[in-house]
Structures are given as structure tokens and as C-alpha cells.
């Protein structure tokens, strides 16, 4: 066993750069996942078949295919006819899109959990459709699903290193770069431990939140 | 009467001769701040059929659950025959019983539950043979023969291959009775066995139990709201209130001339 | 488009590697999940704590980082060497085993306590209760969440391409470099993963039907287009739901 702590010290500045990029990707990816997921969820409750069907097919397809291949697709295929994106932007879009298909299921469960009587009461008060959604249904549904949504933030964090495969310098990308340049291997261990150190307390926090919010 | 398993030799089985078979000694059971049993003393003689009556929450079911080791007493001891159920003697001291000791004493006791608790993943026959084969070490043929006899006894000889979910509540409860008897227990605990049944199915189950009570020397401890049944099969009725036995006697005495005011109130409410 | 030579030399073997990695790591995860899940219901707190620690650690681990660590850090540090595919299967099996242990634990906890009591009343040992009563009843409840996890695992196998295992994603990447053409190959790849996921779902539905029939339950009717994901109260990946 040969472990060299000085490599760990040398890697630390790069590590913090990586943390910054990972968190940036996570933040914007989460924004996309949370908002797009809501769009999918509402669209899937639409009365119009031509809205419901394509959205269902699209989200099923995205959810059941690997994020990694989707990242490749966004990075190599999309520029052939669309915008060219940096690795970070691709990572954000990829993570956000992929996990929006999961959050849409979370929202859907939350919306279905709102009792039918609430819809009927809103109708009885002749609230508009928009008003029914924004003032009655969503506030009740979202409160219930906050812990589940939070869990997907943690999952996105753990899956975010995949963007290193398209050249993003997140925590894993930095570690890889450092290791390959110096022929050392300590950096990966640092990153591995870092993920546990971030993800475990976050999931404990969420469980506390779940106990408070969902009952 | 005892099960002839290879592991049953260490502790001699209590005899069936009218001697004391079950003894509760200053048993206390609390759930949180609620004391369900308050220094309860009582005993049951071998071969007797004893019915526990009293208002709900008076601790009747807790007694059965203590005997079945589904819950542990907070204080006091329970003896089955010459052996402690909850404790064992080690170096002359009473210590809480280990799993092995509990299993050894517990094999004398069987229980029929309010909700039947049949195993939904096994057909009727296997529900009955499973424990004799795995716990008592009977051969499969032997266990099946025993099971078929018992199924005939409870009038379900033709339902061996049904799943519990395909039976009515009354049929399920009769299978549960057969399942408990297949272990050849000395004591049979009956925990409100007809409470979960539709009214028209109650009679069939009670007939089976009456039959068993009158034709075997099995000791029965029965919690029930069926007063006519209690009267019919019991040698002794114990009236419970607030975790204590407040009155006991023959069914004739308890049902016709109860001494205690609470007993009178209770009986006039349920009869 | 693809030359048939490339297809035969790289793509078909890549598909086969993906199948192998999926099945092997699923088997490893399965073998890990049962003991860990059962131990998490043990009555001794130290046993529950250790099994729970395994679950918490690997649930908090990024599977890709863990895979890199096994593939590139373990060999030099511990002076051993193994095939990249071994590293990939090990990493996937260990992480998904942790997730799956949550399914096992949740399904066991969901068996009605009355069943345990009936087992005690018939004087079964704790081990006999587990094997004869609790596990057989919990098993059909595990299959739908296992199905969802298996699809996550299938998707996760694409990560092995990053540690130089020549699975179908790796073959796709190679083709892009060689042909300088990416649209058809990545579209085909996505479609293949989707078809695999679909086939796995069908297989698991059959398994569920069989398991439910064996314990005397009528299986739920599910249409062909009822969605790939099984509806289940237990979500192993997010760790939500299920009896605690």
C-alpha cells in the first residue's frame, strides 16, 4: 500500500474548482428538473390526447435510457443542426432534462394525492382553471412532495460526474485530469469521500424534513 | 399428549391430572402509562376450560398474548407446568428466558387468533403441516395424515388445496383451529375467535370448538363475547376489570347470581 | 451509416457485453441485497447498525466515482490487477446491492405483524419464520421495485464504457471517432437501451405474476402501455416510501 498525502494537498485547489462546477451544474440542473417536471406532470393530465400522448412517450423514453448516452447525444449530435453547448451547459441541460422525467412522476403522485373534493370545491366556487391549479391544487401537492424532490437533488448530485465524460471539469473531471497528468491516484479517493460527505448529511436532513412535512 | 419431537426431552411436560398448569404470579403489564394488568394472580388447572370475560381494555387478550410470548410481562412470573415461561433458573437465580427455553415451554401452547392469521402464501394443507414438519420434525406423510384428520374434524376435508383467500372467514377460522391442534398443544388459547366473523358463520366455528372441548382433555383459555358459548363449554369463568380478576366461579354462578356489582353491570350490558 | 464489418466487430459484441454486465451486476446486487436487507431487521442493534451503515454509505456514493476508484485506485494501491469489466460489475453490484437491500428491508417490514405472531404461536424459530413465512410473503412485493431498480442498473451499465469496457456505449463512441458521424449511432443506442428496458419490464411482470400465483394472489391486470415503471410503494433509489 502506497499512499501519498502530498498528492492530496496538491490536488485540493483543483478539487475546490471542481466542487464549484459540480454545485453550479447541480443548481441549474435542479431548476430545470423541477420546473420542466411540473410542465410534464400538468401536460400528462391534459384532456387533449395530442398533448398527453407525445409527452408520455417522450418522458418514458428519456427516463428509460441512460443519462450518459443522452449527454453524448446533446454534445455531439445536437450541434449538427442546433446550438453548440459547452460541456457545463450540456451537463446542466442533460441532468435537468433527464431528472425532469422523474420529478414529473413525483409531482403527479402529489397532484393525485390532493383529494377529489378540492377539485370539486374549486369548481363549486367557479375558480378558473389557472386559479384552481395555482391557488388550490399545487400548493397542497408541492408541500407533500418536497422531500421526494429533495431526494432527486441528491441523486442528481451523485450522477453529475457523468458530465466529466464530455469534458466538464467537475469534481471527477478535475480528479481525472490531475491523476492523468501526475500518474497518481489519490485524487479519485478524495472525490469519492467528498460525495459521501455531502450526500449523507443531505439525506439525513431530508428524512427529518419528510417527517415534518408529510403526515 | 405432548409432541414427540426429538428436542422435547429436556423439560418434562406437565401432567394432565387436574393439577395446576398455568400460574400467573403478580404479573404487571403496562403500555406506556396505562397499566393493563396490575399484579395479576391466577391459575388454571390442567384440562379445565376457562373463559375470561370483562369489558374491553380489561386485559383479557393481554393474558393470552403473554402466555403466547407475543408480549413480555413488565413484572412478575408466568409458569406453565413446572417451568417458568418468561424466566429460567440459572445458578439458582431467575433470569429472563432465552429463546431456546421459551421455545421449549411454548411448545405446549397453541393459539387461535381473532383475525385467523393463516399464511396466505400456503394452501390449506400446508398451513397445517408446515409447523409439525419444520418445528416438531414430523415426516411429511405423518403431518399430512394428521392434517387431513383434523380437517375432517373441522368439516373441511375437501378444501386441502384451497388458498386461505378462497375460503370464507368461518372456514379460515376452522383451518386455524386445525392448524393450532396439529401441534398437539396442552393448552389452547382462543382470542375472540368469532369476533371477526359474519354472524351466520359464528355457529359453525363454535360447534367445532364445543366438539373439541367435550371430546379432548385439552386445557382451554378463552376470551369471548359469546356468553352462551362461554356458559356451554366453561368449567370456570373469570371476570376481569381494570387488570384484575374481580370474580370467578362456575358459569352457573357467574351468569345467574354474580356477587360483584361490576359483573352484574357487565352481564346486563352484554346479555 | 455503419459498415457491416464494424457492426460485427464492435457493435454486436458491445451489445453482448452490456447484457453480461447487466446480468452479472444484477446477480451480485441480488446476492448482497438479501443478507443486508434481512440483517437490517435484526433485533440486535449492532447488527442493524452495521448493515444500515453499508446501505447509507453506498447510497451516498456516486457509482461512477466508485467505479473509477475500483478500476484505477484499488489496483495500484493494493497491488492487484483485474479486468475492467470485473471492476465495473463489482462497482455496480455493490452500489445497487445497497439500494436493493432497502427493497428487501421495506418488503419484510410490510409483512403484517400478525403473521409473525402466528409463527410464534406455532413455535417456529426466528430463522424458520423468516424463511417459511416472511420472505415468501415479502417476495412478490419486492418484484415491482426490483424491476425499477433493474432498469436503473441497465442504464448504469453505460458507465462501464468510461473505464474502457467495450459495451455498446463504448462501441458507439468508437464509431463516432472513426466515422465522424454521430446522429444515427446515438439514436440507435438510445433506442436499444429503451428496448432492453422494455424487455426487462416484461420479464419482471411475468415473474411477478408467477410469484403472486404461487402465494394464491390474483395478479393485477396491466396493459402493454401501462408505463414501464411498476407502481410500487417502495422507491429504493430515492429511499422514500415503504414501511419503516
Model pLDDT for residues B90-113, shown as the tens digit of each residue: 888 888 888 888 888 898 999 999
Contacts of C126 in chain B (CB under 8 A): 99
Mean pLDDT computed over every residue of chain C: 87
Residue A161: name the closest of A192, A200, A189 by CA.
A192
Select the residue of C118, C126, C215 nearest B113 (Cβ to Cβ): C118
Cβ of C118 within 8 Å of Cβ of B69? The answer is no
Q: Specify if B132 maps to a domain.
A: no
Q: What is the pLDDT of residue C241?
A: 45
Tell which CATH architecture fits domain C4-241.
Orthogonal Bundle (1.10)
Residue B135: name the closest of C124, C130, C118 by CA.
C124
Locate B140 and state its grid cell. Answer: 411429511
Contacts of B62 in chain C (CB under 8 A): none
Residues 6+ apart with CB under 8 A from C221: none
Identify the DSSP state of C3: -
d(C-alpha C131, C-alpha C109), whole Å = 14
* pLDDT tens-digit readout, B237-266: 999 888 888 899 999 999 888 888 889 888
* Count of Cβ atoms closer than 10 Å to residue B75 Cβ: 12
pLDDT along chain A (215 residues), means of 10: 78 91 95 95 90 93 95 92 90 96 92 88 84 88 87 93 93 88 85 91 88 71
- Phi and psi, residue B242, nearest 5°: 50, 45
* pLDDT tens-digit readout, B163-201: 998 999 999 999 999 999 999 999 999 999 988 888 888
* Count of Cβ atoms closer than 10 Å to residue A212 Cβ: 10
C and A: touch, per 3+ CB pairs < 8 A? Answer: yes
Domains annotated for chain A, with CATH where assigned, are 23-170 (1.10.3720.10)
d(C-alpha C81, C-alpha C61), whole Å = 23
**A interface test, pick of C55, C65, C191, C193 with most A CB neighbours within 10 Å:** C65
Q: What average pLDDT does range B135-150 have in this prediction?
A: 94
Q: Which residues pair with C103 in a beta bridge?
A: none
Residue B80: name the closest of B2, B142, B162 by CA.
B2
In terms of Cβ atoms closer than 10 Å to its own Cβ (0-12, 13-18, 19+), residue C161 is buried
Q: What is the pTM of this model?
A: 0.84
- Judged against a pLDDT cut of 50, whether residue B11 lies above it is answered with no
User: What is the ipTM for the molecules in this complex?
Assistant: 0.89
Contacts of A160 in chain C (CB under 8 A): 62
Cβ of A63 within 8 Å of Cβ of C190? The answer is no
**C interface test, pick of A4, A37, A55, A65 with most C CB neighbours within 10 Å:** A65
Select the residue of B69, B131, B179 nearest C124 (Cβ to Cβ): B131
Q: What is the pLDDT of residue C243?
A: 44
Contact with chain C for residue A76, Cβ under 8 A: yes
Locate C89 and state its grid cell. Answer: 460489475
Number of domains chain B contains? 1
pLDDT bucket at C229, cuts 50 / 70 / 90: low
**In contact, A191 and A171? CB cutoff 8 Å:** yes
Smallest Cα distance from C61 to chain B, Å? 37
* Chain mean position to CA A141: 19
List strand residue ranges (DSSP E) for chain C, in order: 234-235, 240-241
Name the C residues in 162-221 with CB < 8 Å from any A CB: 162, 169, 172-173, 176, 182-183, 186-187, 189-190, 193-194, 197-198
- Domain of residue B177, CATH code: 3.40.50.300
- Judged against a pLDDT cut of 60, whether residue B35 lies above it is answered with yes
Cβ of B121 within 8 Å of Cβ of C136? The answer is yes
d(C-alpha C116, C-alpha C129), whole Å = 7
Pairing of strands B236-241, B49-53: parallel
Residues 6+ apart with CB under 8 A from B143: B128, B129, B132, B133, B182
Select the residue of C114, C117, C121 nearest B110 (Cβ to Cβ): C121
d(C-alpha B102, C-alpha B88), whole Å = 9
Select the residue of C68, C78, C189 nearest A69 (Cβ to Cβ): C189
Q: Nearest-CA residue of chain B relative to C218?
A: B165
- Judged against a pLDDT cut of 70, whether residue C240 lies above it is answered with no
Contact with chain C for residue B97, Cβ under 8 A: no
- Judged against a pLDDT cut of 90, whether residue C230 lies above it is answered with no
B155 sits in the region (left: phi over 0; alpha: psi -120 to 50; else beta) called: left
3-state secondary structure of B44: strand
Range with the poorest average pLDDT among B15-24, B129-138, C86-95, C226-235: C226-235
Name the A residues in 25-64 with CB < 8 Å from any C CB: 60-61, 63-64
**Full residue range of the structural domain in which residue B26 is found:** 6-122+169-270
Q: What is the pLDDT of residue C220?
A: 60
Contacts of B122 in chain C (CB under 8 A): 215
**In contact, C55 and C104? CB cutoff 8 Å:** no
Cβ of B121 within 8 Å of Cβ of C117? The answer is no
- Judged against a pLDDT cut of 70, whether residue C3 lies above it is answered with no
Q: Where are the domains of chain C?
A: 4-241
Of chain B, the percentage scoring pLDDT greater than 90 comes to: 48
Smallest Cα distance from C34 to chain B, Å? 19
Helix/strand/coil percent split, chain A, to 5: 85, 0, 15
**B interface test, pick of C43, C123, C126, C134 with most B CB neighbours within 10 Å:** C123
Cβ of C193 within 8 Å of Cβ of A64? The answer is yes
Q: Specify if B246 maps to a domain.
A: yes
Q: Specify if B194 maps to a domain.
A: yes
Select the residue of B103, B107, B134 nearest C132 (Cβ to Cβ): B134
Contacts of A207 in chain C (CB under 8 A): 239
Contact with chain C for residue A199, Cβ under 8 A: yes
* Count of Cβ atoms closer than 10 Å to residue A210 Cβ: 17
Smallest Cα distance from C128 to chain A, Å? 33
d(C-alpha C40, C-alpha C33), whole Å = 10
Question: Angle, to 10 degrees, between the axis of helix A186-213 and the axis of helix C45-59?
Answer: 110
- Judged against a pLDDT cut of 80, whether residue B2 lies above it is answered with no
Name the B residues in 48-77 with CB < 8 Å from any C CB: 68-70
Q: Specify if B143 maps to a domain.
A: no
Pairing of strands B236-241, B219-223: unpaired
pLDDT bucket at C149, cuts 50 / 70 / 90: very high
3-state secondary structure of B163: coil
- Phi and psi, residue B49, nearest 5°: -115, 110
Smallest Cα distance from C121 to chain B, Å? 6
Nearest 5°: CA angle at A97, between A95 and A101?
110
Q: What is the pLDDT of residue A160?
A: 95
Amino acid at each position: 500500500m502506497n499512499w501519498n498525502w502530498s498528492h492530496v494537498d496538491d490536488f485540493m485547489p483543483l478539487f475546490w474548482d471542481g466542487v464549484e462546477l459540480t454545485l453550479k451544474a447541480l443548481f441549474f440542473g435542479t431548476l430545470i428538473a423541477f420546473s420542466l417536471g411540473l410542465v410534464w406532470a400538468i401536460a400528462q393530465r391534459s384532456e387533449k390526447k395530442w398533448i398527453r400522448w407525445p409527452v408520455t412517450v417522450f418522458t418514458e423514453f428519456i427516463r428509460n435510457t441512460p443519462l450518459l448516452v443522452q449527454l453524448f447525444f446533446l454534445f455531439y449530435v445536437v450541434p449538427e443542426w442546433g446550438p453548440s453547448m459547452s460541456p457545463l451547459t450540456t451537463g446542466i441541460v442533460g441532468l435537468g432534462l433527464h431528472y425532469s422525467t422523474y420529478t414529473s412522476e413525483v409531482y403527479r403522485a402529489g397532484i393525485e394525492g390532493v383529494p377529489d373534493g378540492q377539485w370539486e370545491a374549486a369548481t363549486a366556487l367557479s375558480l378558473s382553471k389557472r386559479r384552481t391549479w395555482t391557488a388550490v391544487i399545487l400548493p397542497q401537492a408541492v408541500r407533500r412532495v418536497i422531500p421526494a424532490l429533495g431526494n432527486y437533488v441528491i441523486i442528481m448530485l451523485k450522477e453529475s460526474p457523468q458530465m466529466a465524460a464530455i469534458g466538464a471539469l467537475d469534481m471527477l473531471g478535475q480528479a481525472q485530469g490531475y491523476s492523468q497528468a501526475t500518474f497518481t491516484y489519490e485524487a479519485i479517493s478524495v472525490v469519492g469521500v467528498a460525495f459521501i460527505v455531502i450526500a449523507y448529511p443531505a439525506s439525513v436532513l431530508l428524512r427529518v424534513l419528510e417527517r415534518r412535512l408529510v403526515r | 399428549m405432548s409432541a414427540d419431537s426429538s428436542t422435547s426431552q429436556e423439560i418434562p411436560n406437565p401432567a394432565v391430572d387436574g393439577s395446576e398448569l398455568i400460574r400467573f404470579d403478580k404479573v404487571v403489564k403496562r403500555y406506556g402509562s396505562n397499566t393493563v394488568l396490575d399484579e395479576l394472580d391466577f391459575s388454571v388447572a390442567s384440562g379445565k376450560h376457562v373463559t375470561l370475560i370483562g369489558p374491553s381494555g380489561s386485559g383479557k387478550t393481554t393474558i393470552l398474548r403473554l402466555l403466547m410470548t407475543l408480549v413480555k410481562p413488565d413484572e412478575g412470573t408466568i409458569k406453565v407446568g413446572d417451568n417458568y415461561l418468561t424466566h429460567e433458573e440459572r445458578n439458582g437465580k431467575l433470569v429472563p428466558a432465552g429463546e431456546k427455553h421459551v421455545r421449549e415451554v411454548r411448545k405446549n401452547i397453541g393459539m387461535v387468533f381473532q383475525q385467523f392469521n393463516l399464511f396466505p402464501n400456503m394452501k390449506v394443507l400446508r398451513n397445517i403441516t408446515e409447523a409439525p414438519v419444520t418445528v416438531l420434525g414430523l415426516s411429511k406423510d405423518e403431518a399430512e395424515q394428521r392434517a387431513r384428520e383434523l380437517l375432517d374434524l373441522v368439516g373441511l376435508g375437501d378444501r386441502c388445496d384451497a388458498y386461505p383467500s378462497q375460503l370464507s372467514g368461518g372456514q379460515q377460522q376452522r383451518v386455524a383451529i386445525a392448524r393450532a391442534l396439529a401441534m398437539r398443544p396442552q393448552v389452547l388459547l382462543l382470542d375472540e375467535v368469532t369476533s371477526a366473523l359474519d354472524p351466520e358463520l359464528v355457529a359453525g366455528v363454535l360447534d367445532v370448538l364445543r366438539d373439541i372441548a367435550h371430546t379432548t382433555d385439552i386445557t382451554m383459555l378463552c376470551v369471548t363475547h359469546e356468553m352462551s358459548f362461554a356458559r356451554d363449554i366453561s368449567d370456570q369463568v373469570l371476570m376481569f376489570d381494570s387488570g384484575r380478576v374481580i370474580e370467578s366461579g362456575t358459569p352457573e354462578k357467574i351468569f345467574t347470581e354474580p356477587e360483584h356489582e361490576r359483573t352484574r353491570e357487565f352481564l346486563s350490558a352484554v346479555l | 451509416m455503419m459498415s457491416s464489418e464494424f457492426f460485427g466487430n464492435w457493435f454486436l459484441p458491445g451489445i453482448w457485453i452490456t447484457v453480461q454486465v447487466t446480468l452479472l451486476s444484477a446477480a451480485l446486487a441480488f446476492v448482497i441485497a438479501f443478507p443486508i436487507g434481512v440483517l437490517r431487521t435484526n433485533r440486535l442493534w449492532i447488527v442493524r447498525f452495521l448493515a444500515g451503515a453499508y446501505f447509507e454509505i453506498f447510497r451516498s456514493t456516486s457509482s461512477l466515482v466508485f467505479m473509477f476508484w475500483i478500476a484505477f485506485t484499488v489496483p495500484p494501491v493494493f497491488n492487484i490487477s483485474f479486468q475492467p469489466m470485473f471492476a465495473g460489475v463489482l462497482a455496480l453490484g455493490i452500489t445497487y446491492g445497497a439500494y436493493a437491500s432497502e427493497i428487501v428491508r421495506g418488503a419484510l417490514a410490510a409483512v403484517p405483524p400478525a403473521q409473525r405472531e402466528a409463527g410464534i404461536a406455532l413455535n417456529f424459530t426466528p430463522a424458520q419464520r423468516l424463511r417459511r413465512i416472511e420472505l415468501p410473503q415479502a417476495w412478490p412485493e419486492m418484484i415491482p421495485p426490483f424491476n425499477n431498480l433493474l432498469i436503473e442498473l441497465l442504464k448504469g451499465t453505460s458507465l462501464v464504457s468510461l473505464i474502457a469496457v467495450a459495451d455498446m456505449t463504448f462501441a458507439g463512441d468508437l464509431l463516432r471517432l472513426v466515422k465522424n458521424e454521430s446522429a444515427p449511432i446515438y439514436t440507435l443506442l438510445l433506442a436499444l437501451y429503451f428496448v432492453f428496458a422494455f424487455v426487462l419490464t416484461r420479464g419482471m411482470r411475468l415473474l411477478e405474476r408467477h410469484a403472486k400465483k404461487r402465494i394464491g394472489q390474483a395478479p393485477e391486470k396491466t396493459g402493454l402501455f401501462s408505463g414501464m415503471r411498476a407502481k410500487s410503494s417502495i422507491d429504493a433509489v430515492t429511499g422514500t416510501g415503504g414501511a419503516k
